[in-house]
Chain A
Amino acid sequence: MQRCLSRQQETSGLNSFVTVLRHAAEKEAAVAGRHRVMKGPLHGIPIAVKDNFCTAGVRTTASSRMLANFVPPYSATAVSRLEASGAIVVGKTNMDEFGMGSATLFSHFGKTINPWSQAAEEGDKPRLAAGGSSGGSAVAVATGSALAALGSDTGGSVRQPAAFCGLVGLKPTYGRVSRHGLIAYASSLDCPGVLTRTVADAALVLDVVAGRDPLDSTCLEQPHRPCFDRTMEAAASSRAAGLAVSLRGLKVGIPAEFAIQELEGSAVTAWEEGARLLRDAGADVLPVSVPSIPLALPTYFVIACAEASSNLARYDGIRFGYRASRSLRASRSKEGIGSANTEEDDQRALHDFITASRSQGFGDEVQRRVISGCRVLSAQAYATYYEKALAARLRLRREMNTALSHVDVLLTPVTPTGPFPLTTPAEPAALMVNDVMTVPASLAGLPAIAVPVDLAPSSFVPGLPVPVGLQLIGRHLCEQQLLIVARALEVRCNFSERIPDYVVKATFT
């Protein structure tokens, strides 16, 4: 714990935390240390929590000015389960505002810096983005400030920063982990996820947070099949047989449509290498087709923005959150004290007030997405955008499931490029392309995991090695199998041995 807290302090320049809970964490660690009986499998483990999970009594901002002073009176189910299993929350991590972004650039609390760019000793080399929106969580784990972190994945927000920071990022099946207490971005896509250094850790944390929750009606009823033991068992039995994890009998699909133009050479190489490693482990590697992949990104944006515009409607400055200085009172009395305000005048004054609060409280990217969302849900655009997006989503889901009826898992890159510099012109459309590999699993609600497999020279900062990850997509609720394959890939890549010292100075036991 002490090591994590000091790492947290040493790396504060990376801006991975919005709120640090040093004092509380120390106290809890002391209590945990005195206890003979383990509270649960995460007893005493320092964990970072993305700042869009509500934590009772601890400020939860979603990195928005709107919620800069919001202290929720309750804790998210995922957080409560972590704490019940003995984990200690060391802080709340930075993110793109309300999860809207792919780089943790759009935060009211500043950008988060990727620790892999720290090697650039010459000061003028550009710093790299941590990925997003769970960038703070990724950096917290990558620097050793926490052993695991809770993130949320709407269109790749766990997998993409994991890949950028050389971590394992797991997005379970939609509905496997309760969303209760997760500040909503796009309800039908939002999925609590886990960022860890190893696949086994991800399985361990997943086992703690997964399972049905009466407080989330979209949470699945089926009992969670524990993953950690099975993952370790598979590894152990293979080791006993003198092998790395064996995947004999497993079919891995390579969806051709993921080989897009924007894909960097290093990503292609890693993809091919990953396929070869899985084949070496005994798996059959087959080409598969998911023809609707090109529709995934626009479909994702229509649905995500539509839901965001609705979910963020509650931030009106009335009950909590940021309130514009030009108050309701001011704009009402402007109409003239004592004058008989008509219903329509009152409406206008109220709307001015709400508009002011929202314009000042939300950042640009959030406003962009909310406005887009309102547009696609408007009476004129509903049929041409929203309904079409729903149909496309259904088609994509069907195609993904069909592909997964022929094979057990899909293997794809996580991102088309490695981590880009913070100074990348914030051209919204260009940033969105980052999500192209990750949104299909989100739209289909399937479990997916990013596993770091290789190092490659950055295409943005010459000479700087950066991590490359691969994504595995599994069948509905088949996290167990997904993690076994991920573990096999991890063992064969031996990525952890290749992390340079400057990324993680702390050692782990």
Chain B
Amino acid sequence: MAAAAGKFRAASGRIWEACIGLEVHAQIRVRSKLFSGASAQVTDYDRPNTRVGLLDAAMPGTLPVLNKEAVHQSLRTALALGCQIHPVSRFERKHYFYCDLPQGYQITQQASPIATGGSLLVEPPLHENQRQRAPRKRNASSPHPGLEGDDPEEAAWAPFRVHIARLQIEQDSGKSTHDSAGGRHTLVDLNRAGVALMEIVFEPELFSPSQAAACLRSLQATLRALDSCDGLMEEGSLRCDLNVSVRPAPPSPAFPPGPWGPRVEVKNLNSLKALQTAAAFEIQRQIALHDPGDAPRAGRAGTEGGQDLSRFNGHFEFKSVERETRAFNAATGETTRMRGKEGAVDYRFFPEPDLPPLVLDMDWVEAVRRGLPELPQATRARLVEEHGLTPAQAEVLIGEGEAAVGFFEDVVRGGGGREGRGVANWVCNDLIGLVKAKASAGKGGKGCAVVASPSTSSPALTGQAGASPTASYAVHPEAMGELIDMVSGGEISIRTGKEVLALMVAGGSEEGEEGGRGGEKRQRPREIVAARGWGQVSDETVLIGVARNVVRDPGSARQRRQYKEGKEKQMMKFFVGQAMKETGGRAHPGRMETLLRAELRKAEEEEMGGK
């Protein structure tokens, strides 16, 4: 199930292939740092150097003490990724001098990491127009189906598995800020220094920028489902390095492909978009360097047909591309050189003498394996197959985390015959948005350090980020279910339902914040409806009266005439609207329409009779 190779066209018209590998640093979700016991709950809004233990500042005489929970979380992640777990792994020191690396070395796992092997299922992204359908068919007429350069949208590719080389535990470094004004100072913040990371290295088995982004997205979803990393790329809790190499594509499958060109590493990718942009830029940059091409041929249609086969010998002579490390500039979308091969450092790895080997009790490993939650791909399949959700709905729910899925299922299970897709509509389209809007407004209102921007998907349904799945919901599943039942039973209109939900969300947390038992005090939807008199008017005589008033209103004589003249559909909308205005939106639209129709007919008859 290897990935389909992406194809890229050089200026010369020659078709190239690219090969991409990812190296991901995921901040492990644990309370304290990997070795120091200092708080690991570090955000960009913390004052610098306020989350620093003695070890994190490399005070002489301090020694590392391994955070067991960080090992537990890494183990869960490795097990979920199907890695082979090593009963004995070791820590090593990786040396280099930098102002934000206090010890002069990073404690990492180089020669014997906690886990190796494993793989991750990568699925094509869901586009707006294909969310509810199978991936588009390939363009069978082209000799190079899915040529990336030709297709502004992504080339379609089938799901595949990318292999994992290794998963290791290591320390994060601090952060240095070079004073831009004149470059006189370098400011060092050690808050992040020593925070526990998992480094996950993928085999270079990705062949297009979209595959690379999909791989990272899949990993992000997996980590979130495990709750072993919050996966917030913008905040740096999930970071990605990229390596890219290219080679000319064989003109036909009969030719064996040649070797890949020099590998270039790109650092500091802090969003999926950055990853995809950087990969695309780097592929084009390298191809352009290898293969500047003859200008006249460039851009001519069908040049791949005229490709000079004699020049393809399977061993293209690579030139121009240096094996180097580059940085990505998100503002320009380009990569720039950081250091070349000659700048490579000898890290002088050696076993960390301050830490004994990490020995895992394999019985414990098995117990951890049994306790793993369902992974997003399995959850998606279940949501789609069991509950009839669209893949898009399933993705939204999964993207919100385990708590959201649990909430959804609680609502579905809570009442007889609640339809999954309907419930998902309420949760995905309404509830999540309301909760997020409130969360961001609340934070802004307090004027305190904002943790998550509204665009980031922190678990929206729970009271706060980091709450466990059992924490109090912003809305109780039972109340949500009751509301959905009221709408589907015709007690209230959808519009009223949305307003009730907004009130439920708004009321929910004020109490929730004060006391842990706020959930019981919250108003049920039925109470809200009753208190505000929002229930749908179902008394037939009242509705008939409304219909009569609306139809007989002298002001709507023109509309009555048009209705008679055949603009039935449009005019019915007008009359229903009028009726809604009259009832404050509480009339059942279907019922109202029937009554209006009858009343209009009656009025018509009366008019005819009157003449």
Question: Which residues of A pack against B, CB within 8 Å?
Answer: 52-54, 60, 62, 67, 70, 72-74, 76, 179-184, 186-188, 214-218, 306-307, 309-310, 312-316, 318-320, 328-329, 332-333, 335, 337-339, 341, 343-344, 346-347, 350-351, 354, 374, 377-379, 382, 386
Contacts and interface: CB of A to CB of B under 8 A. Distances in A.
Band of interface residues on B? 35 or more
| Dominant SS among interface residues on chain B | loop
A218 B184 contact: no
Contact of A216 (B63, B185, B338): B63
The residue in B59, B105, B348 that gathers the most chain A C-beta atoms within 10 A of its C-beta is B348
Contact of B60 (A54, A188, A307): A54
A377 B350 contact: yes
A220 B553 CA distance: 94
Interface stretch (B95-103, B136-144, B475-483, B561-569): B95-103
B60 A67 contact: yes
A218 B354 CA distance: 6
B95 A72 contact: no
A313 B350 CA distance: 14
8 contacts: A217-B355, A217-B356, A310-B350, A319-B58, A332-B184, A333-B183, A333-B184, A382-B350
A316 B100 CA distance: 11
Interface string B478-491: 00000000000000
Contacts of A188: 353
A217 B348 contact: no
Interface string B460-472: 0000000000000
Given A187-B354, A318-B99, A378 B183 contact: no
B183 A74 contact: no
B186 A328 contact: yes
B348 A350 contact: no
Given A217-B354, A332-B183, 10 more contacts: A54-B59, A60-B60, A183-B60, A183-B61, A186-B353, A218-B355, A312-B104, A316-B97, A378-B348, A379-B346
B320 interface: no
B183 A182 contact: no
B519 interface: no
Given A318-B99, A386-B350, A54 B61 contact: yes
A313 B94 CA distance: 11
The 3 closest A-B pairs by CB, nearest first: A313-B104, A187-B353, A377-B348
A313 B103 contact: yes
Which secondary structure dominates chain A's binding surface?
Answer: loop
A309 to B, nearest CB: 8
A319 B57 contact: yes
Contacts of A186: 353
A72 B61 contact: yes
A184 B346 contact: no
Contact of A374 (B63, B338, B348): B348
Contacts of B59: 54, 72-74, 320
Contacts of B183: 332-333, 335, 337-339, 341, 346
B106 to A, nearest CB: 11
B65 interface: yes
Contacts of A351: 97
Given A310-B95, A313-B95, A333-B183, A179 B353 contact: no
A220 B78 CA distance: 30
A184 B60 contact: yes
A314 B97 CA distance: 9
B416 interface: no
Nearest to B98: A350
A168 to B, nearest CB: 26
A184 B63 CA distance: 9
A386 B92 CA distance: 14
A52 B61 CA distance: 8
B354 A319 contact: no
B126 interface: no
Contacts of A187: 353-354
A54 B63 CA distance: 13
B58 to A, nearest CB: 4
B105 A313 contact: yes
B60 A329 contact: no
Interface in B155-198: 178, 182-186, 188
B581 interface: no
Contacts of A312: 104
A379 B345 CA distance: 10
Nearest to B348: A377
Nearest to B327: A343
A62 B59 CA distance: 13
Given A184-B61, A215-B65, A217-B355, A314 B99 contact: no
A346 to B, nearest CB: 6
Contact of A70 (B60, B186, B338): B60
B61 A310 contact: no
A73 B54 contact: yes
Interface string B402-426: 0000000000000000000000000
A335 B349 CA distance: 33
Contacts of A310: 93, 95, 104-105, 348, 350
B589 interface: no
Nearest to A98: B60
A180 B64 CA distance: 9
B62 interface: yes
B66 interface: yes
